[in-house]
Amino acid sequence: MKILLMATLFLILPSGCLVLGIEDNIPSFRWATVHDPSVIKAGDTFYVFGSHLQIAKSNDLMHWTQVNVGVYNNNPIIPNIFTELKETFEWAETNTLWAPHVIQLQDGRYYFYYCACRGDSPRSAMGIAVSDNIEGPYRNLGIILRSGYRPGEGMCEEGVPYDARIHPNVVDPHVFYDKEGNLWMVYGSYSGGIYILKLDPETGFPLPGQGYGKKLTGGNHSRIEGPFILYSPDTDYYYLFLSFGGLDYRGGYNIRVARSKNPDGPYYDAEGRNMIDCYGPSFLEGNDPYIAPFGVKLVGNFTLSEGNTIDFRVFGYVSPGHNSAYYDPKTGKYFIFFHTRFPGRGETYQLRVHQLFLNEDGWFVMAPFPYAGETIEDLSFQEIAGEYQLLIHDKEMTNEIRKPVRIALNPDGTVTGAQTGEWEKKGHYITLKLEGEIYKGVTLKQWHYSEKKWVTVFSALSQKGVSVWGIKTSE
């Protein structure tokens, strides 16, 4: 009978009911167009708010509905936007908005931290709008920070002439509560670096006397932006996510993370580098080689295509970045939300959502494929052993697309192929020693996005902050 032939794929309960196993679950996806997605959960629904007022929502993180697509009058979020934010647009000399963040404060209302920037300079304004409903309409409360002051316009928030090498570009806000209930905002892009401010939990406005706040990293126009801070109750660390590089398909955008025991730092990477030291000498000289060694790199350009010519139909990302992250206290799962471009598809971009996992050293590693409802489990030794595609997310900042190499995790605990060494498992954790480098991570089953099947994967991190992914080919 068919049921007997499929026995390995089912769990038969004493009642006689059949429960589908993971191999029978065929997930589907519907993605939205959101650049710089910042996540908030309202009730049972996840929302991401992005640049150009691109907004989407989902109940399962796999099927997304577009809520809004651009900045225009009579949009549902801020209907009279050019009147409501007239002062912001005039200061920033633009007609669009950049990466925002929305948070629900203690009064139950939703606070929309918006920002606008000229783009070719740090001429920016950041403000707050408020609504009783997550989808709006939002009413403007006013500008809270400005950058890019010109001679004759007065002093900047520090009370001195504005200097873009040391003062921040007031964009890319993320507002969050720390474990003590204090309210903070981290923000910044290129220019003088990434800064953090303490906010009034009653009003959402910055507490007085802070100027631009405290610097965490960057400066001298180093290509660092999109900060987001997530607290983990499992490790008692605050994790500072950052995007290095340029966001277009030639820019080499990549996601990195550092951590601290305090919301306002100092933040350190896996090698113990203080992120306050992460900056270059000048934009003209090129800062990338100076900042590339810093941070734990989670993902950069890659493809699973192995041929001389990259097949755009094969799974891969180009310039993934500007992420947000979320911890679900009910399930204990961590998620990362980001936009990405794709090999061979130019500037086309979409939202993606992956799971994050903590390795044995308390660092996040990122699942190789988009979230498809999977839950991590203790896989058997036999399920893990086999041939793999190995992707190495080295810390170089480049527009090159990394390709996989082939390795085998052998039943005797050795690793052979393009990289050699050893491997061992402990529960869902895996430790690999590849060419003398030790990587610690996790194993799990994931839905292979381009081959449309469930496969065993691993995601691990070296002590130098280099991520490796393995996708099993011999399932």
pLDDT attached to residue 17: 36
Which residues share a beta bridge with 442?
A: 429, 459
As a whole number of angstroms, the distance between CA 185 and CA 172 comes to: 10
| Contact call for residues 75 and 67 (beta carbons, < 8 A) | no
Look at strands 421-426 and 333-341 and give their pairing. unpaired
Assign 174 to helix, strand or coil.
strand
Using omega within 30 degrees of 0 as the cis cutoff, is the peptide bond preceding 137 cis? yes
Q: Which pLDDT value is given to residue 285?
A: 76
- Check residue 16 and give its pLDDT: 35
pTM of the model: 0.95
**CB atoms closer than 10 angstroms to residue 207:** 13
| Helical residues (DSSP H) of 333-414, grouped into ranges | 381-384
Buried b (16+ CB within 10 A) or exposed e, 353-373: bbbbbbbeeebbbbbbbbbbe
Contact status, residue 471 vs residue 457, Cβ threshold 8 Å: yes
d(CA 102, CA 269): 28
Q: Which residues are tagged catalytic?
A: 36, 225
DSSP string, 289-304: HHHTTSSEEEE-SEES
What residues contact 187, with CB distance under 8 A and at least 6 apart? 115, 126, 145, 168, 170, 171, 172, 173, 174, 194, 195, 196, 197, 227
Predicted confidence at residue 20, as pLDDT, reads 43
Give me 227's structure tokens: 């900060």
CATH number 2.115.10.20 given to 35-286+311-357: yes
Give the pLDDT confidence score for residue 369 in this predicted structure: 98
Q: What is the pLDDT tens value at each position of the chain, 475 positions in all? A: 333 333 333 232 333 333 345 567 899 999 999 999 999 999 999 999 999 999 999 999 999 999 999 999 999 999 999 999 999 999 999 999 999 999 999 999 999 999 999 999 999 999 999 999 999 999 999 999 999 999 999 999 999 999 999 999 999 999 999 999 999 999 999 999 999 999 999 999 999 999 999 999 999 999 999 999 999 999 999 999 999 999 999 999 999 999 999 999 999 999 999 999 999 998 877 899 999 999 999 999 999 999 888 888 999 999 999 999 999 999 999 999 999 999 999 999 999 999 999 999 999 999 999 999 999 999 999 999 999 999 999 999 999 999 999 999 999 999 999 999 999 999 999 999 999 999 999 999 999 999 999 999 999 999 999 999 999 997 6
Q: How far is CA 385 from CA 319, 431, 436, 440, 471, in A?
A: 32, 13, 20, 17, 11
Q: What is the pLDDT of residue 283?
A: 82
Domains of the chain, by residue range, sit at: 35-286+311-357
pLDDT attached to residue 474: 79
Tell me the C-alpha distance between 314 and 318, whole Å: 13
